[in-house]
Amino acid sequence: MKQLENKKTLYSGVQPSGNITIGNYIGAIRQFTLLSDQYNCLFCVVDLHALTVRQIPAELRRNTLELFALYIAAGLDPQKNIIYCQSHVPEHAELTWILNCFTYMGELSRMTQFKDKSARNQDNLNAGLFTYPVLMASDILLYQTSLVPVGEDQRQHLEITRDIAERFNNIYGNVFVVPEAYIPKETSKILSLSDPLRKMSKSEPDGAVFLLDNADDIRRKIRRAVTDSDAEIRIDIENKPGVSNLLQIYSAFSGESTDEAIGRFEGQGYGQLKKAVSDAVIAGVEPIQKRYQELIADKGMLHQQMMNNAERARQIAARTLRKVYKKVGLYQG
């Protein structure tokens, strides 16, 4: 990443919690591959955030490396962008401490994700879950980020990041860029195959196609996708969410517009539609899977790239942290 170029910075983080769905790919990663000329892009595997729920250490380690490889396999370029692992840049944890001292208990208790997660994790209501948004704010603010692509569920966290940044800037001058949400250009949201009223999600594996699913699994999942009883193939999100979703998946992977697709499928049955969707998805994920297998087969090389990217991230992060330490009065010699 050429730091001296006057481009805005775009920052995104994903938890290393296993596989990525074709929904994540279409809605986020594939779009990111188009942004790297326009912005300085950082993509972070947020392993520290993952620790807010209990992890099996060997699994977390494996998931971290796999997500890193999958990002690259899906088209993000570790030379053009910075793709790195959160815990490799200690400045994240360090800035989090400082920002904890500029964040109020009251505002953290209002976070709906905290309320949801604490209801679900009664047996492990740890302080990390509570301060999760402060770590996220540190991720973003360390890199003087202008734009953060966020879905609905992370909007509140971006809001609190802005509040913390503005609060800090009001006291100490312009230390942080105050980030904004990046709204990607309209793409169809990929919905669950088994419940097409909800987003496709990895927590519901039967309704989700994963980037690393084999062809048989992809066919099986798509064959079982919920449709409806009238046999017409058209887009009608309200009355025919399942069929509309299949058309959108087809369009996203084939490159045909949904109108073209509707023309193509005119007079055909849902079985034929599902077969075409499966073919398109399989053709789309195949090169990603191939690249992924090559990458993961050479762990030494992958590790090298990871370390190299962490070093590049660290140079930027350290600059911001140094400034913050100075501003708040920590003795720096």
* Positions marked catalytic: 117, 199, 202
Is 13 a residue that touches ligand TRP (CB under 6 A)? yes
Q: Closest separation between CB of residue 133 and ligand TRP, Å?
A: 8
Nearer to ligand TRP by C-beta: 114 or 265?
114
For ligand TRP, the closer of residues 113 and 258 by Cβ is: 113
Options 95, 99, 142, 148; binder of ligand TRP; rule CB under 6 A: 148
Starting at the edge strand found earlier in the chain, the sheet holding 147-149 runs: 82-85, 40-45, 9-14, 147-149, 180-182
Kindly report the CA angle at 164 between 5 and 94, in degrees rounded to 5? Answer: 75
Q: Which of 1, 9, 11, 199 binds ligand TRP (CB under 6 A)?
A: 11
Write down the least CB distance from residue 265 to ligand TRP, Å. 35
89 or 140: whose CB is closer to ligand TRP?
A: 140
Locate tokens 């729920």: which residue? 53
Nearest-angstrom CA–CA distance, 98 and 103: 9
Query: Least distance from C-beta 318 to ligand TRP, angstroms?
Result: 18
Q: Nearest 5°: phi and psi at 148?
A: -130, 115
Query: Which of 31, 55, 126, 154 is in the footprint of ligand TRP by CB under 6 A?
Result: 154
| Residue keyed to tokens 């517009």 | 257
Q: Which of 76, 140, 165, 225 binds ligand TRP (CB under 6 A)?
A: 140
Among 139, 143, 243, 285, binds ligand TRP (CB under 6 A): 139
Interface with ligand TRP (CB under 6 A), residue from 83, 89, 136, 225: 136
Part in contact with ligand TRP (CB under 6 A); list of ranges 7-15, 65-73, 187-195, 269-277: 7-15
Rg (CA), the chain: 21
What distance lies between CA 76 and its chain's CA centroid? 13
Per-residue exposure over 191-207, b if at least 16 CB sit within 10 Å of its own CB, e if not:
bbbbbbeebbeeeebeb
Total binding residues toward ligand TRP, as defined by CB under 6 A: 12
Q: Is 15 a binder of ligand TRP (CB under 6 A)?
A: yes
Q: How far is the CB of 83 from ligand TRP (least distance, A)?
A: 14
* Least gap, CB of 136 to ligand TRP (angstroms): 4
- H or E element in which residue 282 lies: helix 270-297
Site residues (vs ligand TRP, CB under 6 A): 11-13, 15, 46, 49, 136, 139-140, 148, 154, 157
